Structure 1
Amino acid sequence: MSELRSRWSVLADRIDSGTPADRDRAVDALRAFAILGVVLGHWLVTALTTADGGLGTTSPLAHLPWLAPVSWVFQTLAVFFLVGGHVAARGHASARERGVPYGVWVGQRLSRLFRPVAAVLALWAVAAAGMLLGGAEPDTVRTLLKLVLSPLWFLLVFAVLTAATPLVARLAPQWPLAVVAGVDLWRFGFGGPEWIGWVNVAAGWLVPYTLGAAWSRGRFAGRTAAALLLGGGAAATAGLVLWGGYPASMVGVPGAPISNLNPPTLAAVAFGLAQCGLALLLRGPLERAMRRPRAWAKVALMNLSAMTIFLWHQTAMMAVTALGLLAPVDLPGLHTVPDSPWWIAARLLWLPVFAAALGVCWAAFRTYEQAGRPERGKSPRTAPRTSTGSGAPGRAPRAAEEVTAHA
């Protein structure tokens, strides 16, 4: 154990020393926390049960409404779009200054998003075909595919906003916010068609994205504006939930007549404003925390595999659930209906197992995300590999450079 700690300490020091001095480590920390929030949220509020003979999905939020505050903690997509808008706007401005054509810049950014997606789609196409040929219930296969593919919707939205960065980078967040409010008023106040709500998929996430672009231009240098976002967003969310008829849960709940997330509602966008305000207020503490080599190394390495973690976390959970079916009885917290506090306690015990399965997926598929990221200024074939002196490969300087390239 002491040898492992020593190796990790050396690795962390190398990553820390190999990170450029102008690296905004708080941005990477916010991105890591946003991804972790989504992963843990899905693991906690998604349940695969065998109640109907096959695998079906439900949620503890449908059976235990008092758990709604859990969704406030783990629904962190607004922070991801905030960071995405900040990084894309800054990156596009830098590329333009260096004379990099728009097509080259956007192609590089989108390839980082969709290269690892191809591996997920290919594996699940084969797996779905195999399950159907093996006699699996079509409804079960459909349930599994929905769990895998449904998180990909946000990548499409994120890709569109990234491609549109030159057009939307200077857009005031008030405009897409007004669109969201108008759509909800038409939809809920005047009985408009349900399909009009899907306009908010673009408009809703454009709000934190444009906030991130404004951040890149120095609009939130002080704390006052961020505090107003936090306070105003929290107050608006509370008002909409208490008196506007919006659900308290910030994620979809099976069987609920209204979802705050699919498509995004004004309540979800207001909640996202509060999250963005809190994230901006935490920049200083995060910057100080990230000066500690061990803390920074964890964040830096996670950012190298953020897409892999996001894309495969549902597969990891489903793999554990499927293997659990080999047990002679339904396993608590895994196959049972999430209708009691005992289920919550049991599910918490399964989280390390899900994490271990995700580690296997990460080891198998991380190369699809990290492919094509040579060390800056050096060919991948000629980049040196040093020894840490304790038996661990000295790949940390390259890892730090890859983190920089990723942003």
Structure 2
Amino acid sequence: MSVVPSVAVVTANTPADRDRFLDLLRISSLVVVVAGHCLMLTVTVTDNEVRFGNVLADLPILRPLTWVLQVLPLFFFAGVAAGARSLEPGTSWGAWLFRRTQRLVRPLGYFVAASVALLTVADLVLTPGWHRPLAVTGVQLLWFLGTYLAVLAFVPALASWVTSGRRMFALVAAIVAGTAIVDAVRLTGGPEILGYLTLFVWLVPAVLGIGYLRGLLRRRTAAVLAGAVLLADVLLVLVGPYEVSMVTVPGQRLSNLAPPSLLLAGHAVMLCCAAVAVAPWLRRLAARPRVWWCTVIGNTGAMTLYLWHMPALLTVLVLSHLAGADRTAPTESGFWLLTAAQLTATAALTGAAFLGLRGLENTPLRWWDGPVATVRGLRSAATVLAVLAAGAAILQATRWGLTVDGGIWFAGAAAALLAARLLTRA
């Protein structure tokens, strides 16, 4: 069980120049995403098949809620803004990137090993139909980690470019325009593989985060831009080819999330600009001692919270199934009462995992967390490419989960991370 400091200790250890707005934004956006995952997942069990579904597929009227629940762009915005503070002229690109990779990846090995163990236990007590849904869904959320590592790899380059408001807006506009072109090609019969190009949408909150850090995004401008882009997004849904859900729902003609669409690009701009517009209010909220305590404790275990909420949810769903109560569809009697009970149990189990495993996230590993050399030239470039390769491999692994194919991609990610560590050894 990890030691949780008191409110007084957290307050005393907070630097006076700490931007509490970014810390509050980072953990609150993660909590909203976790809550959304727990709320939406359903399970249908037949004699030979188990299928995980989505409440949004059965209740389309709820899909507009995803505009509130899909807030991962805010995590990218806050995370990049906070991390870019340490970038100065002459900073080693490879060393900077690997120091951030060390902390992010540290809990990953524990999580994957424990997920394999939990899946093995589940295979002993459940019918074979459960294996693949649990194997895939249990680690599917790692797509976020793979994408975030890739975004971080570009941050030093972005920071060197985004030195004025004009450059910041020009880069955002270029990404948005490129996404619109790719979407148009895909919608008119073009190859689906082009969708991988729109992964650059996740650079939008990174660019805006750097702009915020450097004072290039004024509150009034941000407020106007947020309103204008929100209106444009609504029009894209009403008269354009885009569906309202900001997360993938079975049967969609064009997913807004996988791969990212123009609608998600606009959503990212709107969210980040709206956050900047209300930053003073959020900063005052974060200054309250207990709110700040929750913010600090949450951020020191953010990866633990994100990783372990899904195993907690799946455990509750399995136990509920064994008790004869499957959360199948919102049209069934008692669905929402069962949902409330399962969410309560999931929150309790996630909280226990957070308190018990948060210490692993904050305990350096002897070799992995050793000193990082100030690598330059080809060695720095090789480190960046290794981290990019690891992110791409993790992203691919989430498509297959804990299967043989997924294991190959996880092994590839591990090899790339090993290479990055060897390249940066002091």
User: What TM bracket, shorter-length normalisation?
Assistant: 0.7 to 0.9
Distance 1:108 1:235, change over 3 A: same
Would the alpha carbon gap of residues 55 and 292 (structure 1) be closer, same or farther in structure 2, given more than 3 Å must change?
same
Give the conservation status (yes or no) of the 8 Å contact 1:110–1:159: yes
Of the three residues 105, 109, 119, the one matched with 1:114 is: 105
Cα drift, residue 249 of structure 1: 0.8
Q: Any runs of at least 4 consecutive aligned residues in structure 1 with deviations exceeding 6 A, and if so which?
A: none
Q: Is the 8 A contact 2:63 2:245 kept in 1?
A: yes
For 1:199, the equivalent position in structure 2 comes to 197
- Distance in 2 of aligned mates of 1:343 and 1:325: 13
**CA, structure 1 residues 292+131, in 2 after alignment: closer, same or farther (shift >3 Å)?**
closer
1:142-161 superposed matches below 5 A = 142-161=132-151
- Which residue in 2 is equivalent to 1:287? 283
Distance 2:265 2:332 in 1: 30
* Residue type at the aligned position of 2:356: A
Q: Report the CA distance between 1:341 and its aligned residue.
A: 8.6
Write out aligned runs for 1:56-135 (5 A): 56-93=51-88, 96=89, 101-132=92-123, 134=124
Structure 1: which 5+ runs fail to align? 1-7, 374-407
Q: Which residue of 2 aligns with 1:260?
A: 256
Q: How does 1:2-401 map to 2 (within 5 A)?
A: 11-51=6-46, 54-93=49-88, 96=89, 101-132=92-123, 134=124, 136-169=126-159, 170=161, 172-188=171-187, 190-201=188-199, 203-220=200-217, 222-327=218-323, 329-331=324-326, 335-339=327-331, 343-372=335-364
The amino acid that maps onto 2:203 is L
Partner Cα separation in structure 1 for residue 46 and residue 125 of structure 2: 19
Percent same amino acid at aligned positions?
A: 34
Secondary structure of the residue aligned to 1:57 is strand
Checking the alignment, whether the CA contact within 8 Å between 1:64 and 1:340 is kept in structure 2 is no
SS of the aligned residue for 1:244 comes to coil
How many residue pairs match? The answer is: 354
Q: CA RMSD in A?
A: 2.3
Matched residue type, 2:118: A
CA distance in 1, matches of 2:335, 2:262: 32
TM-score, reference length from structure 1: 0.81
> Tell me, what secondary structure is at the counterpart of 1:164?
helix
| Contact 2:27–2:298 under 8 Å retained in 1 | yes
Show the counterpart of 2:167.
none
Q: Flag the 1:258–1:348 CA change in 2: closer, same or farther, 3 A.
A: farther
Q: 1:52 to 1:344 in 2, by over 3 A?
A: farther
Please give the TM-score of this superposition, normalised by the length of structure 2: 0.78
| Equivalent AA in structure 2 for residue 49 of structure 1 | T
Aligned to 1:58, what secondary structure does the other structure show? strand
The alpha-carbon deviation at position 342 of structure 1 amounts to 5.1
Contact 1:51 1:336 in 2 (8 A): no
Q: What residue ranges of structure 2 are gaps of 5+ in the alignment?
A: 163-170, 366-426
Q: CA deviation at 1:146?
A: 1.9
Pair 1:192–1:143, CA change in 2 (3 A): same
Alpha-carbon separation, structure 2, partners of 1:340 and 1:27: 41
- C-alpha separation between the residues in 2 aligned to 1:107 and 1:174? 29
1:309-361 Cα deviation digits (max 9, x unpaired): 0011111101111122231x325xxx332336952454134322111110222
| SS of structure 2 residue aligned to 1:338 | coil
One-letter amino acid matched to 1:336: T
CA distance in 1, matches of 2:348, 2:255: 31
Aligned to 2:165: none
Structure 1 window deviating more from structure 2 (171-180 vs 123-132): it is: 123-132
